[in-house]
Amino acid sequence: MIKIVVVGASGKMGRTICRGILDEKDMELVGAVSLQEVGRDIGELVGFGRTGVEIVGSLDKLINMTPQVLIDFSHHSAVDKSVAWAVERGVHVIVGTTGLSQDQLRRYQELSLSSQSNIFIAPNMAIGAVLMMKLSQLASRYFEDCEIIELHHDQKADSPSGTALHTAELLQGIREKEGRTAQHEVEKVTCSRGGLYHNVHIHSIRLPGLVAHQEVIFGTKGQTLIIRHDSTDRGCYLPGLFRAVRSIQNRRGFTYGLDKLLDIG
């Protein structure tokens, strides 16, 4: 059994993860951390029934507990504490929280190489989203012009999304072309053309009713190509996440991106 602690357990994604773990035969949820619902049995919170695992307000409350894996889907400002707690105890770390800075990623890589803790971070845990990014990378070899539209629920803390930023980083031909805004263009409303990252315009939409969606639109003379992925239920992240849980003990050091766990070249 893989013993797991979840940070951000009472959030929408955290509840989905905890429920998913409780349904898996080779995993055991041994700790749940959140600032909300402290003292409540996590099983009852997610509709599973009483488990004996009560939500605590901080990792420091998990006294004399050494799980094998810590999963953090809380907030990028809290990830440093999770990583420090795990590294101190030799616990492996999986982070699905977006909004992490490059400095944070560098520190985590250094920590993974100087400790017994393997660290896995992915901007998106949905296998379909990873394939969307891979196909977009392939298409960028043949199209010079591209824009990204990403749509998320109105509670998302960061914009653009980590998926949109990572997609822009992957686009090859687009990155080589400078000056994405034509000289004749005039923005009558500031940022109406979106933000510019790696020479790619990114447009972020935040609305209630959405979960996570992204389309990458390529254009050239006489044709367009749209590659789109829609997450309509947070359960779509579990197959990718659990793939990471089952493999992290054998992935020494630091791993970034779910694509590293998929046979997609």
What confidence tens digit (pLDDT) does each residue in 229-241 have?
Answer: 999 999 999 999 9
pLDDT of residue 147: 96
pLDDT of residue 264: 79
What confidence tens digit (pLDDT) does each residue in 113-137 have?
Answer: 999 999 999 988 999 999 999 999 9
pLDDT of residue 65: 83
Q: What are phi and psi of 206, to 5 degrees?
A: -125, 115
Topology annotation, domain 127-231: Dihydrodipicolinate Reductase; domain 2 (3.30.360)
Residue 100 confidence (pLDDT) above 70: yes
Q: What is the mean pLDDT of residues 201-210?
A: 96
Confirm if 101 and 133 have CB atoms less than 8 A apart.
no
**Model confidence at 180, in pLDDT bands (50, 70, 90)?**
low
Alpha-carbon separation of residue 8 from 14, 89, 103 (angstroms) = 5, 19, 22
Q: What is the DSSP string of 62-98?
A: STT---SEEEE-S-TTTHHHHHHHHHHHT-EEEE---
Measured CA to CA, the distance from residue 151 to residue 126 in angstroms comes to 15
Confirm if 10 and 37 have CB atoms less than 8 A apart.
yes
- Is 152 considered catalytic here? yes
Which residues are known binding-site members? 8-13, 37, 40, 96-98, 122-125, 153, 162-163
Q: Which amino acid is at 20?
A: G
Q: What percent of the chain has pLDDT over 70?
A: 96
CATH class of 2-121+234-261: alpha beta
Q: What is the mean pLDDT of residues 136-156?
A: 93
Residue 139 confidence (pLDDT) above 90: yes
Closest CA to 133 of 96, 172, 167, 168: 167
Residue 162 confidence (pLDDT) above 70: yes
What confidence tens digit (pLDDT) does each residue in 50-88 have?
Answer: 999 999 999 999 988 889 999 999 988 899 999 999 999
Confirm if 70 and 92 have CB atoms less than 8 A apart.
yes
* Tokens 């990471």 sit on residue: 244
Indicate which residue of 92, 152, 201, 229 is catalytic.
Answer: 152
pLDDT of residue 225: 98
Measured CA to CA, the distance from residue 235 to residue 192 in angstroms comes to 33
What confidence tens digit (pLDDT) does each residue in 209-254 have?
Answer: 999 999 999 999 999 999 999 999 999 999 999 999 999 999 999 9
Q: Token digits for 141? A: 């070899």
Measured CA to CA, the distance from residue 211 to residue 124 in angstroms comes to 13
Which residues are known binding-site members for (S)-2,3,4,5-tetrahydrodipicolinate? 153, 162-163
Confirm if 174 and 146 have CB atoms less than 8 A apart.
yes
Strands (E), the chain: 2-7, 27-33, 55-56, 69-72, 92-95, 119-121, 145-152, 195-197, 200-206, 212-220, 223-231, 254-256
pLDDT of residue 212: 93
Measured CA to CA, the distance from residue 52 to residue 62 in angstroms comes to 14
pLDDT of residue 179: 59
Q: What are phi and psi of 208, to 5 degrees?
A: -65, 145
Chain region(s) in the chain for CATH 3.30.360.10: 127-231
Which residues are known binding-site members for NADP(+)? 40
What is the b/e burial string over 127-138, where b = at least 16 CB atoms within 10 angstroms of the residue's CB?
bebbbbbbebbe
Q: How many residues does the chain have?
A: 265
List the single range of 160-169, 185-194, 199-208 with lowest mean pLDDT.
Answer: 185-194
Chain region(s) in the chain for CATH 3.40.50.720: 2-121+234-261
Confirm if 115 and 90 have CB atoms less than 8 A apart.
yes
Q: Taking all residues of the chain, what is their mean pLDDT, rounded to a whole number?
A: 92
Indicate which residue of 75, 76, 134, 156 is catalytic.
Answer: 156
Residue 104 confidence (pLDDT) above 90: yes
Q: Token digits for 150? A: 């990403």
pLDDT of residue 21: 97
Q: What is the mean pLDDT of residues 23-44?
A: 95
